[in-house]
Amino acid sequence: MKLLTRDTDYAVRAICFIARSKEKKASVAELTFRLGMPRSFLRKILQRLNEEGLLESSKGKGGGFELAIKPEAIVLLDVMRIFQGGLNLNNCFLKKRICPEKNVCRLRREIGLIEKGTAAALSKISIASLIKSRHN
């Protein structure tokens, strides 16, 4: 089981790079080169982050992407929700039909508690803390 998808991983890496950058903006070409990501794939991720209000973009010479909000305000759980939807570890293995035990299933309840704890932990991980931990 993967907690983070490739989209989320790439998004977090790109946001961290932009936040660490001494330049105000990072171009797609620079991000592609520095992070070793496929250009077309990265462009889609950056555009989505722009649409969701985490990044701002500008076109033309000197254009690129920059943070729209402070690194302290961007948390891992928010990025995950953009690319993965809600945190959901609690899918029943009988996916073809609704489980008749859904409301009383003990396992579902226990996994729900794990999800809540995981979501709480992920909401405490900010881009600022990821950047800071890399330098220490």
| CA gap 86, 112 in Å, rounded | 12
CATH number reported for the structural domain that contains residue 79 in this entry: 1.10.10.10
| CA gap 105, 103 in Å, rounded | 6
Q: Is residue 51 part of a domain?
A: yes
Instruction: Report yes or no: 33 and 52 within 8 Å, Cβ to Cβ.
Output: no
Please compute the mean of the pLDDT values over residues 43-51 and round it to a whole number.
97
pLDDT given for residue 133 in this prediction: 63
Q: Is the pLDDT of residue 5 over 80?
A: yes
Q: Is residue 43 part of a domain?
A: yes
Amino acid at 84: Q
Beta strands in 8-93 (DSSP E): 55-58, 64-67
pLDDT given for residue 42 in this prediction: 95
Amino acid at 135: H
Domain encompassing residue 72: 6-86+126-135
pLDDT given for residue 90 in this prediction: 64
